Every structure is written in C-alpha cells, then in structure tokens.
Structure 1
Amino acid sequence: MRPKAPSRSPRQRFRPLLPVMLLVLGVALGLLWPSLHRSPLMLGQDASYPGARARASWSEQSGGVIDIRPTTGRAATLLIIYPGGLVRPQAYQWLGTALAPASVETVIVRFPLDLAVTGVGRADDVIARYAQGRPVYLAGHSLGGAMAAQYLSGAAAGKVTGLILMGAYPAGNVSLKAQTSLRVLDLLGEHDMVADASDVRGGLAGLPASTKLVTIEGSVHAFFGRYGPQKGDGVPTVSRADAEAQIVREVLTFLRKD
C-alpha cells in the first residue's frame, strides 16, 4: 500500500501563485493610481481672472466645497458646479472669480475620487445650505455635466432655475425635455475632441426645446477648467484667455436673463 503524500499547508499551496498575484496587483495599482492618488486641493491655485476679485473659502460641509463670493455684499444668484471626471474642484475657481463681481456666488463640489458619478445628488445639500431663497443654477463640465443633467431628471426637478453644460451632454437614458421651465445653456468647444460635437448636438434631443447651444470658437475640452492638456483633446486655435472670455460672456448673459 502506497503511503499517502504529506498534505501541504495553505501557505505551501498558494506559494507558486504568489508571483502571478503580485503581478496582477501591480498592474491593477498602476491602472488605478491616477484615480486613487489625487493631487492636494489648493485653494486659490491659478484662480485669478482679469479685472475680477472674489472671496474664496473651503468648507468640509456638504461633502467638501469651494465657496466663491463677491468681495462685498450678498450675491443675488447661486451657481453650483460639478467638476469633470478626475478633475480637482479648484480647476474651476477661475470661473467663480470671474462671475463674483456680477453678484454670483459659486459653489464647486468635491466628489470622492473626483468623480461626480459617486454623488449625483450632492446638489441637494448644497442647495439646502446655500440657496437661501436665491435662484439656483447648476453647471457641469464633461462627466460633471452628464451627472448634473441626471440629477435634474429626478426629484430635483423644480429646485434649479437653469443648467449650464460645458463640453457635456445628457446620458442616453436621461431626458429633461418635459421640463419646459428649465433654462439650459449648452457650451461646445469648437475643437473639443473629448465631447464630440455630434454627441453634444445629439444630446439636444434630451434637453428642453429652448436650450441655447453656443460654440466657443477655437476652444477645446480642457479650456473649461484649468487643469492642463487632456489626452485625446483637439488642438486649440485661440488662447486659453480668449476661450475663457467667451465662456464668461456667455454664462453671464445667460444668468442675467433670469
């Protein structure tokens, strides 16, 4: 009778698999590192705008927000911004600074991993805390714009006066078409290759008929926020300053019609 081979411990059984497991783990960390490792949130970093001044502060309330206000007095309008995917919220502080002299308070939301999909309904708490009876507008860049539209397609209908999409469009299963009182400004970068022009125009099918589509001449996807070039984007034919001036002009015109 052949003697039984000695049984191996769990450690001995898994030892041959260890190199493969370490390799898989290394690849996974390499792919996820850009999402897991976020640069520090630095208030005021590259946030100036010609001829504009504002007061900016960071609050951990409402899940973490940058609050940008006029230097004096109380703003007449509240604008909430959902950042683009994997973009730090301070990348949009320049826009809040530019709008502050026009009596606009801008609240930029921080999301876990900088992904608006992790907290679509975050505007609820921001509105409850900051609106104080003022008209509320919701803006979103790229993924943030898609999530802003999704937010407004649910129970949030009626809480927000208007929506500003920046290089963004609603998901295919989202429709705001029946919300005829919702004002929408849809901004498209002329050379945006991330939010393709055909996709942005196709997204109009899910927006109210009164939606205003405006092309930011010579601009690209990354010119809506100050976070550097973006992979896969187009080549701009205007300076960032020129593109930002167009964006500010269109947003101010839209807000002043309230």
Structure 2
Amino acid sequence: MNAPSRDAVKEWLGRRSLRRIAIRLVAVVAVLALLAGVGFYAYFGVFAHHAPADVQESVRANEAVDVREAYGGYVVSDADPGRERLGLVFYPGGRVAPDAYLPTAAQVAERANVTVVVPKMRANLAVFSQGRADAVVGGEPQVDRWVVGGHSLGGAMACRYAAANGDAADGLLLVGSYCDRPVEETPTLAVLGTRDAVLDRDQFAANRENLPADHTVSRIDGMNHSQAGWYTGQRGGQPARIATAEAHRRLATAVTDWLCRDLDHCRNGTAR
C-alpha cells in the first residue's frame, strides 16, 4: 500500500484546521448569543423599574381597594363595587414592572369604580405580549365591559389589541402613548403630561389620525412620563413640576370623567 503523498497530507491537515476554526467560530458565536440573551433578560426583566416597597405596601394597606396578584401582575378593584362592573386592562410601559402602576391603579379603581388589571408582559415588553388582554377578559367573568389601555409602549400595544379585537374593547386609554394602527368607533382617551420628554410628540401628531374622530386628549400640566406609575430612572425623562401623588390624582380624575362621559359609567349619576 502506497503512503499518502506530501500534498495529500497537507490538504488533509488544511481541511482539519478549517474544521477546527469553524467549530471555534460557532462556539464563540453561541457564547456571544448566550451572553446577549442573558444581558437582554437582565436589563429588561431583572432590572426593570419598580415602585418603592413602601409605596407598594401603602396600596395594599388601603382599605378602599382590594388588591390581589394574578396574571403575573395585579388586580385592583374598588372595595365597594357597583352593580355594573367595568374593567381596565392596563399594559405597562417598556422595562416597567406591574407593581410600578399599583398607586395609579388604586386611584383609578377607587375613584372610577373600575377593576384595574395590570398584567406582566413577557420580558417586561408589551410588544411580546400584545394579546395579554385575552387571558384577563376570560379570567374575570364578573366584569361586564372592558377598556384596554397602557402606558408608553404598553399603550401602543393596547391600541393594536383594540384595533384587532374591536368586539372585546369597549374603550381605549393611552397614557404617554400613541396608536400606530387605526381604531374605529372605540371611545378613546389620550393623556399627555406636559413634562413628558420620552413620548415622541411628532409621532403622536403624525398618528393622531388613527384615533376615532371624537377621541379626547387630556393634558396634565407638570406631569412627566414616569408619573403614569411610580418609579424613577427612566432614560430620556425630565423632572416633573408636580408631585407624583398629585399627578395620579389628576390622571384618575381625567380617566373618571372620561368614563362617565363617553362610556356612561358613573356612580349615582356623577363621576367620583
């Protein structure tokens, strides 16, 4: 049997080296992808914006509302509900945990007599959980009508849900957000803080035609982007000119007045 030629040996060694390089490159890419995935999860999941612990506890201690954990987030309802039950599914903003909206939810639940559900979004990004409202609507049979809404990215995704599920959405609430899909014949309220530097106002103006012709815009003087909830450290945000508790009071008033007027949801004929 003839021994392999020198050229054949070199060719074989070359192919073996290429295979080793390819294997190493694949391993490096896999490690980098893993690190990127871990970093993504840590940034959006582990290091999401939360309400301070004492603020969360003050909501749970409020006897005017009932708070329970569900849907990975919270259900907040008036402790003295009326006969007709109206619900609000509120999608959190990007990289914001559901507990950050507990104070706002309590204000709206108590003043508007509404069951407010703030579910957890996958990776704290509503773009991955646009249909999250389905589980809530199916899981709260005591609620007669539903408003879908959200803050920032959550509002945009709630709008997409309302556009695709008109029969399930009796109203749409946007806080520091805008619609990139047309929504027809759905009562809509858009709440904007005058100190909101995160919302792209040019995009809001450009997409305003996607809202029903009779939609309502409510501007809250001095309120910034994060005061839709109770958290700090939002990238691109700017300081508010009113206290967060006052921002929540004004937000709850705007929502309550809108529900009373456009959805005919009033207690004893008037909004609270």
TM-score normalised by L of structure 2 = 0.78
**Pairing 1:127-142 to 2, within 5 Å after superposition:** 127-132=137-142, 134-142=144-152
- For residue 238 of structure 1, the aligned residue among 238, 242, 259 is 242
1:112 deviation in Å?
1.0
The amino acid across from 2:131 in the alignment is: G
Q: What is the CA deviation profile of residues 37-67 of structure 1, one whole-angstrom value per residue up to 9, with x for unaligned ones?
A: 35698997624469873111112xxx53411
In the alignment, which of 144, 157, 164 is matched to residue 166 of structure 2? 157
2:6 to 2, 13, 17: 2
Q: For the structure 1 residues 212 and 131, does the alpha-carbon distance in structure 2 shift closer, same or farther, using more than 3 Å as the test?
A: farther
Closer, same or farther in 2 for the Cα pair 1:91/1:41, shift >3 Å?
A: closer
In structure 2, the partner of 1:253 is: 257
List per-residue Cα deviations over 1:161-193 (Å, max 9, x = no partner).
21110000012xx101xx22x111101111211
Pick which of 197-206 and 4-13 moved more. Answer: 4-13
Distance in 1, Cα, partners of 2:132 & 2:89: 10
1:111 aligns with 2:121: yes
Q: Unpaired segments of 5 or more residues in structure 2? A: 265-272
Counterpart residue number, 2:227? 223
SS at 1:46 equivalent: helix
- TM-score (norm. length: structure 1): 0.82
Aligned mates of 1:157, 1:19 — CA distance in 2: 48
Deviations 1:140-173 (A, max 9, x none): 101110011101111x1032221110000012xx
Superposed structure 1 runs of 4+ greater than 6 Å apart: 40-44, 49-52
Higher helix share: 2
Aligned match of 1:194: 198
Counterpart CA distance in 1 for 2:137 and 2:24 is 56
Give the SS at the match of 1:120: coil
The structure having more radius of gyration, on CA atoms, is 2
Per-residue CA deviation, residues 195-246 of structure 1 (Å, 9 max, x unaligned), is: 1333223332100011111111111111111121311123322222222221
1:69 aligns with 2:69: no
**Residue 35 of structure 1 aligns with which residue?**
44
- Measure the CA separation in 1 of the matches of 2:67 and 2:55: 13
AA at the equivalent of 1:2:
R
Matched, 1:53 2:64: yes
> Is contact 1:78-1:131 (8 Å) kept?
no
Q: Could you tell me how far apart the structure 2 residues matched to 1:234 and 1:39 are?
A: 19
Q: Alpha carbons of 1:220 and 1:97: their partners in 2 closer, same or farther (altered >3 Å)? A: same
* Deviates further, 76-85 or 28-37: 28-37
- Structure 1 residues 44 and 108 mapped into 2: Cα distance closer, same or farther (>3 Å)? farther
Contact 1:53 1:98 survives alignment (8 Å): no
Unpaired segments of 5 or more residues in structure 1?
none
State the distance in 1 between where 2:175 and 2:49 align: 24
CA RMSD of aligned residues (A): 3.2
